[in-house]
Amino acid sequence: MNISPLQKQRLQYTPKLPGMLRAGIAEISVKEGEPTTSVADQEKIAALFPNTYGKNEITFVKGTNTSTPKKQVVGVILSGGQAPGGHNVICGLYDALKATNKDNVLLGFKNGPAGLVNDDCVEFTDEFIDAYRNTGGFDIIGSGRTKIETEAQFEASAKTAKNHDLTAVVIIGGDDSNTNAAVLAEYFAAHDLGIQVIGCPKTIDGDLKNDDIECSFGFDTATKTFAELIGNIERDANSAKKYWHFIKVMGRSASHVALECALKTQPNICLIGEEVAAKKMSLSQIADYIADSVADRAAKGMNFGVAIIPEGIVEFVPEFSTLIAEINELLAGEKTAQFNALPTWDEKKTFIKNGLTTDSYAVFDILPEGIQKQLFLERDPHGNVQVSLIESEKLFSELVANKLAQRKANGTYNGSFKPQHHFFGYEGRCAFPSNFDADYCYSLGYNAFMLIQYGYTGYLSKISNLSKPADQWVAGGMPITKMMNIERRNGEDKPVIRKALVELDGKPFKYFEAHRDTWAVETDYIYPGAIQYYGPSDVCDQTTVTLALEKGE
């Protein structure tokens, strides 16, 4: 296999572990904390998870290992979208297994949870594992989005586990994947199969976090990758001095990625979906807000700028959410065929106007025609609008252009507005992990084995105190059910891990809020540059700005 010089060097990097995990497996003891409850809907969650609910949080400390030795055969699954560092979770798990007993086995189930259902796996060896240390991607075994939720899938998973004498399964994934881990743990416990299930917190979106999980892995690397690109664009904008760049970044359900990138680069505009929802801002108000920055900068002779747009911004706009709901109802059942049979767009617009409320049609009418058509041409398997496909960066640049044209007509604006558009998403999902993510992920995997060795199931591997150097990190575990509540999914009440949104009273947003008016008018850009792997620790091992602000550092 051909590899780059950087990969050769990264393969040799030794990830840093929390202090209490460095003493050696034989000297790691466990300290149990208080029993836990779910974040909401306690009675319903407890009823759904009678065998795994309410367990204690635990912390690993230095001391005599009191676990009962036995041969471990562990299966590992990469689930959901890719995030930098997944390979290191597997490497940390493998190294801990082999350090305890060289006869322990680690099996990688291919292409996500489907690998467990279909009994499709590979056994890891030193040579296999060593080729993936500190690298990006999930290509070591692939990933997938299959959910194990039917009785047939549970039975097939149990059969696979029996075929390989599995003692435990580790699921590396986001909120949905770890919800699935909790459900699988409950099934195995209810049927007394003796198979533990441990989860590891992954998502570049940053919305799998709470007081216990300070940061999901991959978020640091992805935002540093995006911030490098945004910084490059800022420098280009400041050099050419003639373009406004509208940059959409990943994060459909929360704006953590956008906020972190803004804190790293100080763009002129960054929209935060949670604030848009809280203030009930309309599309017109958002467009005016951006247009104000464009006009103020133009008045200073600066006809250029940078705006960061979260991927899911339109879903936070109340009037747009109402419009989507009405469109879904408008085209329900046989009405879709009636609509599609209309020969011209003008006839279709008449059909739409007659089917929407006056307020919703007013929102629809201000949208660029391309976005209007997309709302009616792109449907998901359930017949609903695929909001995630909306090119919101183009939507807002066109709305801003219309606002500026109105201002130019009444003499309040005389600048030049030339927009450019970008979407950063896949660019960050499989990057070489930063030192922080390489260390964090390796620790999560190593720690997952400690949870297995001590007999825990339905737990999430937990590394905390992450704003400090790695030797001060704290390792432990928390029951996945602690993060759960009941939500309505596809017409049914389902237990799910609650997504963490940007907290508008939190320190990261408050810092952004205090500085954004200056950034909107001035050219106060920061150019982060590429991720650094070698050099001073304050350059190479720094955590996210979000986490540093949250911890008051």
Q: How many CB atoms lie within 10 A of CB 340?
A: 11
Cβ-based burial of 538 (10 A; exposed 0-12, middle 13-18, buried ≥19) = exposed
Name the helix (H) or strand (E) containing 234. helix 219-240
Give, in degrees to the nearest 5, the angle at Cα 119 between 115 and 124: 75
In whole angstroms, give the CA distance from residue 175 to residue 113. Answer: 14
Name the helix (H) or strand (E) containing 432. none
Per the CB < 8 A criterion, the answer to whether 33 and 58 are in contact is yes
* 3-class secondary structure per residue, 378-442: CECCCCCECHHHCCHHHHHHHHHHHHHHHHHHCCCCCCCCCEEEEEECHHHHCCCCCHHHHHHHH
Catalytic residues: 205
In whole angstroms, give the CA distance from residue 466 to residue 168. Answer: 27
Q: How many CB atoms lie within 10 A of CB 228?
A: 22
Name the helix (H) or strand (E) containing 164. none
Q: How many CB atoms lie within 10 A of CB 526?
A: 16
Q: How many residues does the chain have?
A: 553
Decide: helix, strand or coil at residue 198.
strand
Tokens of 82: 């890719």
Return phi, psi of residue 204, to 5°. Answer: -75, -15
Per the CB < 8 A criterion, the answer to whether 107 and 76 are in contact is yes
- DSSP string for residues in 90-159: HHHHHHHHHHH-TT-EEEEETTTTHHHHHT-EEE--HHHHHTSTT--SSTTT--B-----SHHHHHHHHH
Question: Which residue from 175, 116, 165 is spatially nearest to 143, judged by alpha carbons?
Answer: 116
